[in-house]
């Protein structure tokens, strides 16, 4: 038996006409022989209006009462949707998150789902009802109403699809999730900024996770985490047309044929730097623990080499979380004798693609595009399938257009069902093959949104090159990585940051150990010719330990646990790289095995 979970966003139910149109879609799916669950968001700008209303009463509304207020928006939508379906002659019943049995933790306004009961849903479906569920909300173990935060209705929809697919009491083994929104799929970038952006017929879970975390507004990363963890195919499509959308599915070889599938801009970013922190084990743990206490996810972590026992640690947070972040850090900074500095007028531009793992020269192409567009880069970090650069906010759209053009993302990719010489000898898969791809289900239904660690590893094959006091110019990055790429040297981790209050930067990157000497010589030759004040350091042996899993960045306790385990063994961290699926840290080569053992012990229960 097949089940379809349909989610309609706020714009899709903003008017009575749109509610009726959504109701007809649900009925059409029922007429095709499917059982149907509909998840709806609050109508239009209702949530924003409710927040504004609360702030007319108090500037800082209590989070518990704010959740109680915000949950009413979805309750209006579910009642109207049930009425619409009933008026068209089909039985329907509406449920709030609490009524349906969505149990969360008690972190108000950002609650995470712990489990979902299927009993009431299954009973209603067995009675022939189309089930309407309020998105964005649940209830904690003390019966307090909670809300799931940004993207909460997407999260509700995918979580319901997951539990209905894998709960032993559920009769459904074929479950799809359809996200109806005001766009007709996932594009290579935001078409409002780059009109030449192309719609993708399909994208992998990991690629979509990265794009969602970077501000691609189609879906929130938490909902994609559920989809990957429980192997739920997701279709993103328009509420206002019947054109095909984009499938979000397991990765296939076809997706790796090009290095980059998309580019994104996160416009509302802020960079925080702690200048002059002690360069010793445990400092990173204390910094990121203070932030994790407020459930704030960080990105673009950079740590400069210590000088005279002091170092600089920088990272990005969402701009609206900057005040809380600064409050969390100021007391700690005073204890360290460090300064807290920040920039809140910055954006993050990124490229994403599974093919980065096997294609060389991607970093060089990225930096060259930004240099040619005369975009000043303030910081750079890399992840498993992502390269990100922090730029001035006013330069963000120009930077996005430049990298989108540089990687040919304005050109349509061939249709899935058409074999192509460009990907010979393997043809592109038919879409049915994508949907038939099964991954092991890694999630646990009794702790649905807990972190799931799939791998803890030690890489002892790399060395590190560090350039100190290079000009803080994008052209430096472009020229250096062009030389590295021309030599056929593969680069893995990259961390670059501009030193606070100067026009100088520090750059570190890792290469295979056998290439350290060659890479260092290329860097020295280039700096002597172009930037004689710069210093090149080579560390022929480093150890890279990593934790891989679903939700490792958004679950703020992961970094805390990781850094705490290393601090407990007095292991200092030299570099940090974060992505949606992996956190990597560089430590001294001799401490690699100790670091691996520490992390395996720390995450033994995950």
Model confidence pLDDT, tens digit, residues 80-130: 999 999 999 999 999 999 999 999 999 999 999 999 999 999 999 999 999
Taking the chain, what is the end-to-end CA distance rounded to the nearest angstrom?
Answer: 33
What does the DSSP assignment read for 111-175?
--EEEE--HHHHHHHHTTPEEEEESSEEE-TT--EEE--TTHHHHHHHHHHHHHHH-TT---SEE
Tell me the average pLDDT across 551-570. Answer: 84
Tell me the average pLDDT across 312-329. Answer: 93
The CA distance from 571 to 360, in Å, is: 32
Query: Residue 291 in 3-state DSSP?
Result: helix
Please tell me the CATH code under which domain 2-177 is placed. Answer: 3.40.1160.10
- Total residue count of the chain as it appears in this document: 606
Closest CA to 547 of 564, 531, 532, 535: 564
Residues 6+ apart with CB under 8 A from 383: 210, 577, 578, 579, 580, 582
Q: Is the pLDDT of residue 441 over 70?
A: no
Query: Residue 197 in 3-state DSSP?
Result: coil
pLDDT per position as a tens digit, 138-197: 999 999 999 998 889 999 999 999 999 998 888 998 999 999 988 899 999 999 899 999
Query: Residue 355 in 3-state DSSP?
Result: helix
Closest CA to 404 of 265, 299, 268, 269: 265
Query: Which ranges in the chain are annotated with CATH 3.40.1160.10?
Result: 2-177
Q: How many C-alpha atoms does 90 have within 13 Å on its Cβ side? A: 24
Any idea which of 21-35, 200-214, 415-429, 445-459 has the lowest mean pLDDT?
415-429
Q: What is the model's pLDDT at position 416?
A: 46
Tell me the average pLDDT across 41-68. Answer: 95
Tell me the average pLDDT across 509-526. Answer: 96
- The architecture CATH gives domain 263-409+454-602: 2-Layer Sandwich (3.30)
Question: Judging by DSSP bridges, how do beta strands 582-588 and 542-550 pair with one another?
Answer: antiparallel
Token pair 């704010």 is found at 66
Tell me the average pLDDT across 405-415. Answer: 83
Tell me the average pLDDT across 357-361. Answer: 84
The CA distance from 368 to 402, in Å, is: 9
Query: Which ranges in the chain are annotated with CATH 3.30.2130.10?
Result: 263-409+454-602
The CA distance from 146 to 171, in Å, is: 29
Q: Is the pLDDT of residue 447 over 80?
A: no
CA separation (Å) from 207 to 250, 261, 506?
10, 8, 29
Q: What is the model's pLDDT at position 306?
A: 66
Tell me the average pLDDT across 503-508. Answer: 90
For the CA atoms of 68, 70, 75, 78, what is the dihedral angle to 10 degrees?
A: -150
Peptide bond into 425 cis (omega under 30): yes
pLDDT per position as a tens digit, 468-482: 999 999 999 999 999
The CA distance from 519 to 512, in Å, is: 10
Radius of gyration of the chain (CA): 25
What does the DSSP assignment read for 421-450?
GGGTTSPPPPHHHHHH--------GGGTTS
């Amino acid at each position: 038996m097949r089940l379809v979970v349909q989610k309609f966003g706020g714009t899709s139910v903003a008017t009575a006409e749109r509610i009726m149109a959504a109701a007809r879609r649900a009925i059409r799916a029922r007429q095709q022989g499917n059982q149907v669950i509909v998840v709806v968001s609050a109508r239009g700008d209702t949530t924003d209006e409710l927040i504004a209303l609360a702030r007319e009463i108090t500037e800082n509304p209590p989070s518990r009462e704010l959740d109680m207020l915000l949950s009413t928006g979805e309750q209006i939508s579910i009642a109207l949707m049930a009425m619409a379906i009933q008026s068209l002659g089909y039985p329907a019943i509406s449920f709030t998150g609490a009524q349906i049995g969505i149990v969360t933790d008690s972190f108000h306004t950002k609650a995470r789902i712990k489990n979902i009961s299927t009993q009431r849903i299954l009973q209603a479906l067995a009675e022939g009802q189309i089930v309407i569920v309020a998105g964005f909300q649940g209830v904690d173990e003390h019966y307090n109403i909670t809300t799931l935060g940004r993207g909460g209705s997407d999260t509700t929809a995918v979580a319901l699809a997951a539990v209905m697919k894998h709960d032993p009491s559920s009769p459904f083994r074929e479950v799809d999730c359809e996200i109806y929104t005001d766009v007709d799929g996932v594009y290579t970038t935001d078409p409002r900024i780059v009109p030449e952006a192309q719609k993708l017929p399909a994208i992998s879970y990991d690629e979509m996770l990265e794009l969602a975390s970077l501000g691609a507004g189609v879906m929130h990363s938490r909902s994609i985490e559920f989809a990957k963890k429980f192997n739920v195919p997701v279709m993103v499509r328009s509420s206002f047309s019947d054109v095909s959308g984009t499938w979000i599915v397991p990765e296939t070889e076809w997706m790796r044929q090009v290095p980059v599938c998309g580019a994104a801009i996160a416009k509302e970013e802020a960079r925080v730097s702690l200048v002059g922190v002690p360069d010793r084990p445990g400092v990173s743990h204390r910094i990121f623990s203070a932030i994790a206490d407020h459930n704030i996810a960080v990105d673009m972590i950079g740590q400069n080499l210590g000088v005279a026992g002091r170092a600089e640690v920088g990272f990005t947070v969402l701009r609206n979380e900057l005040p809380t972040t600064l409050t969390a850090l100021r007391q700690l900074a005073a204890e360290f004798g460090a300064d807290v500095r920040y920039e809140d007028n910055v954006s993050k531009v990124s490229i994403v693609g599974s093919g980065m793992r096997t294609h060389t020269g991607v970093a060089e192409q990225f930096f060259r595009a930004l240099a040619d567009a005369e975009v000043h880069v303030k910081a750079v970090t890399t992840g498993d399938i992502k390269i990100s650069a922090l730029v001035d906010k006013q330069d963000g759209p120009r930077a996005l257009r430049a990298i989108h053009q540089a990687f040919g993302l304005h050109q349509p990719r061939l249709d899935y069902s058409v074999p192509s010489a460009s990907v010979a000898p393997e043809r592109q898969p038919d879409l049915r093959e994508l949907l038939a791809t099964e991954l092991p289900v890694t999630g646990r239904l009794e702790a649905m949104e807990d972190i799931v660690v799939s791998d803890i590893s030690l890489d002892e094959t790399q060395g590190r090159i560090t350039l100190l006091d290079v000009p803080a110019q994008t052209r430096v990055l472009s020229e250096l990585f062009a030389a590295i790429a021309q030599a056929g040297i593969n680069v893995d981790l990259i961390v670059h940051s501009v030193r606070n209050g100067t026009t100088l930067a520090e750059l570190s990157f890792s290469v295979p150990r056998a290439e350290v000497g060659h890479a260092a010589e290329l860097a020295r030759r280039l700096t002597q010719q172009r930037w004689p004040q710069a210093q090149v350091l080579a560390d022929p042996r480093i150890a890279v330990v990593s934790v891989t899993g679903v939700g490792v960045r958004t679950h703020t306790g992961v970094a805390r646990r990781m850094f705490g385990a290393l601090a407990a063994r007095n292991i200092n961290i030299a570099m940090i790289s974060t992505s949606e699926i992996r956190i990597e840290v560089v430590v001294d080569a001799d401490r690699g095995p100790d670091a691996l053992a520490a992390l395996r012990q720390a995450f033994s229960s995950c």
